[in-house]
Structure 1
Amino acid sequence: MLIKRFADAQPYDAPNHWGVTGLRLQGFEDGGPENQWVGYSQFLPGGGAGPDATPFEKVYVVLDGEMTVTVDDTDTVLGPMDSCTIPPGEVRKIENRSNHVCKMLVVIPCPAGGRP
């Protein structure tokens, strides 16, 4: 078992994101998960990502606040404890259109081989 304290989580920069601070909670460390990694993102009002797509699926879980997810010109607002899966190749844009910080967990598969 690998315990990782929130105080020890390291920040990371995600491409094509703005107004966000991401912290890696689990992944890419000895004894950590081999198949996926978990990030904690805090999006300021007006923060977001995209539009873009990735060759792997992603899972978003909103913990606090709300996030607007746009796919095929359709907006869906996720609130606390709502989640969604973005399949591989699906173009999405996410945007915090509220005046509150949106706190979100992100689960993403590790690259082939399990480590970068």
Structure 2
Amino acid sequence: MKLKPIKDKKKITALFEKGRVINGKNISIRALEHQDNTPGYVISVPKKNFPLAVNRNLIKRRLRAGLADLSIDNHKLSLFLIYISKEIISGLDLKKELTDLVRDID
């Protein structure tokens, strides 16, 4: 099943407040397992670190591509991805780090 973006403010707030935190080198993940909801994701790239929208969108596209390759089908996980690095990282490095961090969640 494909992960879909979470749009509901209440779900995003619950995910941010109650989610389990896993920190990586470039990405911080907050994960929350729901019993009734479908899995989803939220991506955040701080404007403070990347003032240009072009760069923020590039990072978001790379993170979405990395999420598409993950298989989280057996869990009802919702993920809040926060990009914490100060520089733009290649897509392959982001995919590798995402897979490692999601493996740590299980």
Q: Which has the higher helix share?
A: 2
> Is TM > 0.5 for Structure 1 vs Structure 2?
no
Which has the larger strand fraction?
1
TM-score in terms of structure 1 length: 0.30
Larger radius of gyration: 1
TM-score, scaled relative to structure 2: 0.31
